[in-house]
Every structure is written in C-alpha cells, then in structure tokens.
Structure 1
Amino acid sequence: MDEKFNATIETCLIAGKIILQSGGETYRVEDTMTRIAAALGLQDAQSFVMPTAIIFTADGGSAHPTTRMVRISERSTDLRKVTLVNAISRRISSGGLSAEEALAMLRQIDASGTSYPLWLQVVAAALVSGSFLIMFKGEWYDFGAACLAGGIGYYGSYWFHRLVAIKFFAEFLAAWIIGVVAFVMVHYGAGRDLDAIIVGSVMPLVPGVLITNAVRDLMAGHLVSGISKGAEAFLTAFAIGSGVAFVLSLFSKGVGL
C-alpha cells in the first residue's frame, strides 16, 4: 500500500474528525470526506459518521478494501476550524493541494487551540447574557446583574468541563452558580427581576448549535446522528433547567442569605 494512498485516507479522516469535533453536521462530514477522496483519486470511498465515531473505507486497487475508524470523545463548537477545513477541501477539489500538503495543514489545524482566549469568551458570554435580557424585555437596571451571572456561569462551565468527566454535570453546576449569583444580586438590590436575569444568563449555555445540527441531520436522512444529537441537546437543556430549579427551590423554602 503506497504512501499516497495512506496519506489520502489520513487526510479524509482528520478532515472529518476536525469538522465533527468542532460542531459540524454529520452530512457535512461525510460530504467533505467523499469529495476529498474523489479529488485525490479514490472514487469508490465510503464513509459512515456518527457523533462518536467515523468509519472510512477505501479501495486502493487491492483485493481487500482498507477500513479505518476514528473515535470522537470530545465535541465543542469552533466554526473557525470548520471553515478552514472547508477551504482546504475546496483547494483539494480544484487541484491546488496534494494529499501530503493537505494532511500537513489539517494536522496543524487539529493541533491548534481555540480561536479566542478564555477571558474574551467570558466577556462575550457576559455581554450576550445582558443582551438576551434586554431582548426578552428585561429592564436595563438588570443588565449588569445578567452580565455578571452569565460571565461567572460560563467561566464555571469551562472549568467544570475540564475537572469533571461526567457529561451534563458541568451544565448543572454552571446553571446552579447562575441561579445563586442572580439571587444574590436581587437580594442585595443590584437587580430586580430574578427570572429575567436567570433566563438571560443561561443563554450562553443553551446547546443551540447542537439543536440546529440535530434537525439538519434528521432532514438530511441521518436518523441515528439526528436522534442522538437531539437526545444530547435535550439532556443538556434538562441539566441547565435542573440546576436553576434546584436553586429556586432552595431559596423558596427559606434558605436565605
């Protein structure tokens, strides 16, 4: 099996892996891998993508096709990486990149970190929280409280994801923190509408991209991926709601400050 064939398969797998881990849809992953394989000379390549694994099969001219699988253990949202992989895929399709050149570029993208530093993400989450508060017809008086609660909640979610391996536990704790911060702000007069502050603050935690991808995968006929992503989005939303409900139930029973 020659080096070009191996490089082609590796290029397809790492391109699909980056897109899937960065929040891309299942059909986009399969389409990108098929287009790259065809552009590099593998016309009969087949791929099967699930949220947790990628299976790719290609025939390099031998009697037995080569099948490889990549396990996907972590998924996030980084649309910059999806855009970069799509750009490389277009260059491959136009004949502007060889398999070896594309593979080197994809490995560099895969090894790179997030687009923005953590402090900027926290600031953005805080501003988003305040903006959603206003969009939901909240008062400007509560804008600062929503920003503070949303920023602290997002920061907590980031670290809980790194410290706790259990899925959805980080969302529950982050929502719990948001509820506590919002209640403290209202209790000491820094906010007025507790419900509006909490609703605005939890919006950065809501799995909007996951919900969108679940619907798009279902519409594209990828039932397994669509249902599994929908279930993950539902459980994430349930964890967020449970964290807020837990705080509200505590303080409604007289657990004051």
Structure 2
Amino acid sequence: MTTEDLLLDTCLLAGRIMIEGGSEMYRVDDTMSRIAKNAGECSAMVFTTPTGIFAAVSSSPLVQLSPVLRRGIDMEKVARVNNLSRQFAAHELTLPELREELIKVDQHTPYFPFWLQVLAAGLCSTTLMVIFAQAYDWFDMPLAALAGAVGYWVYARVSRLTNVRFIAEAIGALCVGLASWAGVRLGIGHNLDNVIVGAVMPLVPGVAITNSIRDMLAGHLISGIARGMEAILSACAIGVGIAVIFRFL
C-alpha cells in the first residue's frame, strides 16, 4: 500500500466511524482534513454524506469512496477518534499506528450492556414524564418506567432482526402504547397521556434532529436535509405506533 493509499484509507476509516457514531458532518470533514494535513497533505479534498464518504489528495489522481451502511449513536467512538486525531497531530502516533488504533476503535469499543440501556430507558421515561407533565405524578412514574423499558427493549431487538428502516421505531412505539394502556386498565396508572409521553421519549431521534440543524447551519445542506428527513420519518413511525393504540383500543 502506497503512502497516499494509506492516508486515504485512514481518513475514510476515521470518517466512517464518526458518521456511524452519530457525529455532525462538519466535525467529520474537519477531522479527516486535519489527519491529511498533519500527514503532509495540505490540499486534501473531502466530501461527506450520511451514506458515503469521498476523499482525495493532490499527490494522487484517484478518489477513494467508503460507504456508510449503518448509523446510530455512539459518542464513545466519536470521542476516541477525535482523541486519536489529536495524538497524531502531536506526533505521538505514526500514520500506520493511527490506522491500527482506528481499527481497534471500530471493532472493539466497549459499549454499555444491554440490560443497563433498558434500565436507563426506563429512568429516562420517568424523568421526562415529570418534565412534560409538569407535575410529580408519583403514581404514574413506575408505569412510565416500565412502558419505556419495554418499548426500548422491543425497539433494540427488532433493529437487530431487520434492516428495514423505521419498522423498529413503529413496533417499539406500539409496545409502549400497549404497555401503557394495559397498565392503566389494570389500575397501576391513571393518566394514559402522561405515561405515553414520557415512555416514548427514548425512541425519539433527538440527536438526529439536532445534528441535522447543526449541519445545515454549517453549510452541509445535503447532509442536513437528509438527516432531517430521516428524523422526521422516524418520528412519523413512532406516531403511527402510538396512533394505532388510540384508534383501536
């Protein structure tokens, strides 16, 4: 592998990891450009989209492409790539060492255990119910936590079983509605609206909406619009799942 190919491969790997982790596009551009500049290529050309990255350097006539097949939220990976980029800028890592470390980040980054994610979804549902209801409804808090945890568990499991986008959000929201409705009917909750509002929040694509606006403000109009539409469709899928409950139950 030539030096140019190694540099482009390293830049594309860093950019793909950041996009898959939920980073903003301008941050991806900046990181890839800085890696190229610190490697001696001051005129690197980078073009990023949510589904693919293009990169080229002036010393090579070729342009390399890296597809982005999945996107999620993993800020640990984004932070680690930024830290490795700073180490490379400080000459603490060579270019081959940087590539090896990025491969380790891509394959072996520790993540919170699934049971802890479900528990956090339940806690988040309870606190957000308090915020949106503007009252400490102690009677509905346990049901909101249970419904939020169930909905997130179903959403995560369905996401692993299918590659069809927005199906997981719809089914997860449907389970939130079912759990909330069943809890109210059984007497362990009394305000269905408050419970659903809190329990559905872990499914809402808040980071995607924020990154979409930040990308558009930074001038990345294509990425901003694409991410915004993705977030809107996710919100619509969640709304469909909840609407089914109110329509038929």
Percent of paired sites with the same residue? 41
Give 1:58 shift: 1.4
Residue in structure 2 matched with residue 204 of structure 1 by the alignment: 202
Task: Quote the residue 2:227 is aligned against.
Answer: 229
TM-score by length of 1: 0.94
Deviating more after overlay: 109-118 vs 212-221: 109-118
What's the secondary structure of 1:116's corresponding residue? Answer: coil
Q: Deviation string for 1:188-239 (max 9, x for gaps)?
A: 1000110010010011000011001000000000100000100000000011
Q: Work out which of the residue numbers 140, 143, 149 in structure 2 matches 1:142.
A: 140
* Alpha-carbon contact 1:186-1:192 (below 8 Å) kept: yes
Residue 194 of structure 1 is matched in structure 2 by 192
- Is the 8 Å Cα contact of residues 4 and 57 (structure 2) preserved in structure 1? no
Which residue number in structure 2 is paired with residue 35 of structure 1?
A: 34
Structure 1 runs (4+) greater than 4 angstroms displaced: none
CA distance in structure 2 between the aligned counterparts of 1:244 and 1:234, rounded to whole angstroms: 15
Specify the SS of the correspondent of 1:119. helix
Unaligned runs of 5+ in 1: 252-257
CA distance in 1, matches of 2:38, 2:103: 19
1:163 aligns with 2:161: yes
Q: What's the Cα RMSD here?
A: 1.1
TM-score, normalised to structure 2's length? 0.96
- In 1, the alpha carbon distance for the partners of 2:110 and 2:221 equals 30
SS in 1 for 2:200: helix
Distance 1:235 1:204, change over 3 A: same
Residue identity opposite 2:129 in structure 1:
L
Alpha-carbon separation, structure 2, partners of 1:114 and 1:229: 26
Q: Which runs of 5+ in 2 are unaligned?
A: none
CA distance in 2, matches of 1:123, 1:233: 24
Alpha-carbon separation, structure 2, partners of 1:230 and 1:199: 22
Kindly tell me: are residues 160 and 56 of structure 1, through their superposed partners in 2, closer, same or farther at Cα, counting changes over 3 Å?
same
Q: Secondary structure at the match of 2:193?
A: helix
The equivalent residue for 1:255 is: none
Matches within 5 A, 1:5-154: 5-60=4-59, 62=60, 65-113=61-109, 115-136=111-132, 137-138=134-135, 139-154=137-152
